[in-house]
Amino acid sequence: MMIEIGKPAPLFSLYNTEKQLVSLESLRGKNVLIHFFPMAFTGVCTAQLCNARDNMEIYTKLHCTVLGISVDSLFTLGVYKKQENYSFDLLSDFNKTTIQDYGLYYPDFVFGMKGVSNRAAVLIDKEGIVRYFEVTPTIGDQPNYNAITDALAKLA
């Protein structure tokens, strides 16, 4: 079932690339933007996360923590984070529980690969309520970055 704007975001605890557990509960009191992406080292996913990287100044000014979540291993995400110089946490949902909880399980990717995250952006406010939620029309599309920033500005 998909999450809904105005409802509490499903809680999660996932490992980052430094092998530290990051929970949504631990981020309570902060606005959180989560970029869900299918797979590291792919063109559209890199563009999505590079957009976040290149706009970190805006997110910081608006008091927002940015996260990226995919089903890649934390080791793969570590290499990817270093290569692309991301300053925000990338979290591994290797067991696919969070993407299922958020209604983002994408069953058939490319080359016969199964079970990745759909591409999505989720903005969660300081109280843990979903304030913006977008699943892209196709996995090859980018989220609406202007709409994300506008929604975040309303929370600042």
Is 64 catalytic? The answer is: no
CB 8 within 8 A of CB 129: yes
Contact 32, 67 (CB under 8 A): yes
Are 104 and 117 within 8 A, CB to CB? Answer: yes
Q: How many CB atoms lie within 10 A of CB 44?
A: 17
Among the options 3, 9, 24, 45, which is catalytic?
45
* Cβ atoms within 10 Å of 98's Cβ, excluding its own: 23
Q: Give the residue numbers annotated as catalytic, written as ranges.
A: 45
